[in-house]
Amino acid sequence: MTNKLEQFLEKQINSGNIDWESKSKLIRSSDEKVNGHTTKILNKFEHKFNFSIDLKNKEIKKYFDQLPKNSIINVLRARDEINKNLSPNNQIGGERSCKIIYDRLKNPKFNTNNLKPQTLDNQVSKVLVYKVSKQFEDKVKNMNEKLKDAGKWAYVYLEDTQAGNKTLRLHIFDSTLSKDKKKNEKPYILGKTIKSTTFPPNDESLKKIQKLINEKK
């Protein structure tokens, strides 16, 4: 077994095939099982290989360490920032692109700053408590009235989160005229939600919301 694995590793090195996702994948490619013995053999050669998972772990740890303690992070944004320091061949990507970041957030060896992933419930913040004034509520109401007068298919409202906080939710609808109207009956409008997202309840969010609505053709 020792000779077989060593021969396989030497063959990969000599052929320049030194970039692998992980040590376990390299061992399994030799038709050997991953165990303490095969890992020990690979350890003698590992300095000659580049393991993508190690590079990713290093950059994830570096990113986590630079953030303030108890921060809530946007995982997609974190992925994009981490990828800036990774080569094109080692990008965190694919359908489950963020799984590795979620996994490392659960690992105290990586997540020494007690970081939390952003969720629908904490997207506003679980650290800050937003107090919504009557004046702001009126601004939301006025925005909806202006949207209605302008014929915009959008609606904004304040929503309570499970954490007892407030968030500002935007719904943007798509509209089409009905085709199954009866004779002499006016066509009615059918609408479906094409965007639903939340924002912190503040004036800056209202500006962002207005921009999103204006961009919808």
For residue 16, the tally of other CB atoms under 10 A from its CB is: 7
Positive or negative torsion for Cα 201, 202, 206, 211: negative
Say if residues 3 and 33 touch (Cβ distance below 8 Å).
no
Closest CA to 203 of 115, 142, 120: 142
Answering whether pTM is above 0.75, one says no
Q: Name the residue with tokens 């303690």.
A: 69
What's the average pLDDT block by block, 10 residues per block, for the chain (217 residues)?
Answer: 82 89 88 90 89 89 91 83 84 70 92 81 48 86 84 79 72 59 45 71 89 76
Query: What are the residue boundaries of the structural domains of the chain, listed by start?
Result: 2-48, 52-117, 134-215
Distance in Å from the first CA to the final CA of the chain: 65
CA distance 61 to 53: 12
Q: Would you state the structure tokens that stand for residue 31, as one six-digit string?
A: 């038709």
- pLDDT computed for residue 71 by the predictor: 82
Helices 134-149 and 203-215, packing angle to 10 deg: 10
Which residue reads 């580049």 in tokens? 50
Please name the amino acid found at residue 146.
K
Give the pLDDT confidence score for residue 157 in this predicted structure.
84
Q: Residue 15: its pLDDT value, please?
A: 92
CB 42 within 8 A of CB 26: yes
Phi then psi dihedrals of residue 167, to 5 deg: -135, 155
CA–CA dist 204, 206 (Å, integer)? 5
